[in-house]
Amino acid sequence: MTLEILGISVLWLFLFGYVIVASIDFGAGFFNAYSLFRGKQHILTRIIQRYLSPVWEVTNVFLVFFFVGIVGFFPKTAYFYGTILLVPASIAVVLLAIRGSYYAFTTYGGLRQKRWTYLYGLSGLFIPASLSIVLTISEGGFVSESAAGLELDYWTLFTSPLTWSIVVLSITAVLYISAVFLTWYANKANDEPAAELLRKYALIWAVPAIVTATGIIVELKDHNPEHFSRLMDLWWLFGISFLLFAGTVYLIWKRRYYGLAFGLLTGQFFVAFFAYGISHYPYLLYPYLTIYDGFTNEAMAIALVIAFLAGLGLLLPSLYLLLRLFLFNKDYVQGKRDDHA
C-alpha cells in the first residue's frame, strides 16, 4: 500500500466517523423540533436531550481531523477546493456556529423559545445538504480552469439531477441513521413511547434512504460514465450493503435487538461508503486532481499517518467512555442522573 492510498484511507475513515456521529446529532435535533411542532415533545424531548447533552461538543472532532488531514496530505486540494467551496463551506460553518450557540444557550442559559428550537432542528438538515455538494463537485463537469483561476458553474451545479439526488440522500440518510440509533437508545432507557415513535420514524425513512442511494447510481451513468463503470465493478459490495440494510429493517420491524440493528446499519454505510471511495479512486476532483498530484513529501506523510492513527487511538476510547459513563449508563439514560458533559 502506497502512502497516498494509506493517507486517503485514514481520512476516509475519519469522514465516515463524522457521517455516523453527526447524522445522529443532526437527526436528533430535527426530531426534537418536529416533536415540538406536532405537540409530541412530552414523548421525545427528554430522551433526545439526554443524548445530546454529553455529545454535542465532540461531534465535529472528526470533521476537523478530516479537513486538517486533507490539506496536510494533499496540499493541492486547498487550491482546487478552497475557492470553489467558499460559498457552500461558509454556509455550513455559519449553520454549525448557530447549532453550537443554540445548544450552549439552551443547556446553560435557559433559552427555550420555539423558533430557536426549529432553527436548530432545520440547520441539522441544511448542514449535510450543503456539505454533500462537495461530492457532486468531485464528479466533475461543474468546474472550469482558465487563466483567471478556477470557476464553479453554479447554474449547472444547481440544475443537475445528480446534485439534488446527493442532497436528498444526505437528508434521508441523516434521518434514517438517527432514528435507528435513537430507537435503540430509547429502548435502553425503557422509554417505550419514545422507542415506538422513533421506531416508526426509522421505518418511514428507510425506504427513501435506499431509493435515493440507488438514484445517485442511475444519475452517475450519464454524468460520469467512468465512475459509473467502476461502481458496477463493485456491485457485490453494494449487494452486501443492501443485505445489511434489509437486516436492519427486519429487526426494527420485529422490535428485536435494536443494538444489533444499529450495528448492521453502521456496517451497511461502512461498506457502501468505502465502495464509493474505492470506485472514485484515484480522483479527488474529476478530471483535474488525483491523490498522486501534489502529494506531500514522504516524511510529512508518515508523520501525518502516525499522528492521525494516534488521534484515532485517543478518540475511540474517549467515545467508548462517553458511551459507558453517560449514554448507556443505566441511571443516566433513565433520567435518574442529569450530568452534562
Residue 74 Cα to chain centre, angstroms: 22
Give the start-to-end residue ranges of the domains of the chain: 3-333
Q: In the numeric block, which cell numbers belong to residue 321? A: 467512555
d(CA 229, CA 27): 33
Cα 140 from Cα 274, distance rounded (Å): 20
pLDDT in tens, 193-228: 888 999 999 999 999 999 999 889 889 988 999 999
- Rounded distance, CA 3 to CA 12, Å? 14
- Alpha-carbon span 118 to 205, nearest angstrom: 20
Report residue 15 CA to chain centroid gap.
8
Report the 10 Å Cβ neighbour count for 92. 22
Which among 179, 169, 176, 168 has a CA at the least distance from the CA of 32?
179
Q: pTM for the complete prediction? A: 0.89
Q: First CA to last CA across the chain, in angstroms? A: 40
**pLDDT of 333 strictly over 70:** no
Distance of CA 228 to the CA centre of its chain: 23
Q: Which residues, in sequence order, are CB contacts of 95 under 8 Å at separation 6+?
A: 123, 126, 127, 130
How far is Cα 62 from Cα 71, in angstroms, rounded to an integer?
15
Across the range 138-142, mean pLDDT stands at: 89
Tell me if 118 sits within 8 A of 35, measured CB to CB: no
Residue partners of 335: CB distance under 8 A and separation at least 6: 46, 50, 189
Nearest to 208 by CA among 247, 243, 249: 249
**Minimum mean pLDDT among 15-19, 236-240, 293-297: which range?**
293-297
User: Which pLDDT does position 144 carry in this prediction?
Assistant: 83
Q: How far is Cα 223 from Cα 230, in angstroms, rounded to an integer?
A: 13
Structure-block grid coordinates of residue 60: 465535529
Residue 336, SS3 per DSSP: coil
Mean pLDDT comparison of 19-28, 238-247, 280-289, 306-315, highest-scoring range:
238-247
Quickly count: other Cβ atoms within 10 Å of residue 259's Cβ. 14
* pLDDT 10s digits, 43-101: 777 777 766 655 656 677 777 888 888 888 888 888 888 777 777 778 888 887 777 77
Nearest to 21 by CA among 48, 58, 65: 58
pLDDT at 340: 46
For position 249, what pLDDT does the model report?
Answer: 96
The H or E element that residue 146 is part of is strand 143-146
Quote the CA–CA distance of 167 and 274 in Å, as a whole number. Answer: 19
Which pLDDT value is given to residue 271?
96
Please state, in angstroms and rounded to a whole number, the distance separating the CA atoms of residues 15 and 8: 10
pLDDT of residue 206: 94
Return the pLDDT at 275: 94
CA distance 260 to 267: 10
Place of cell 494533499: 74
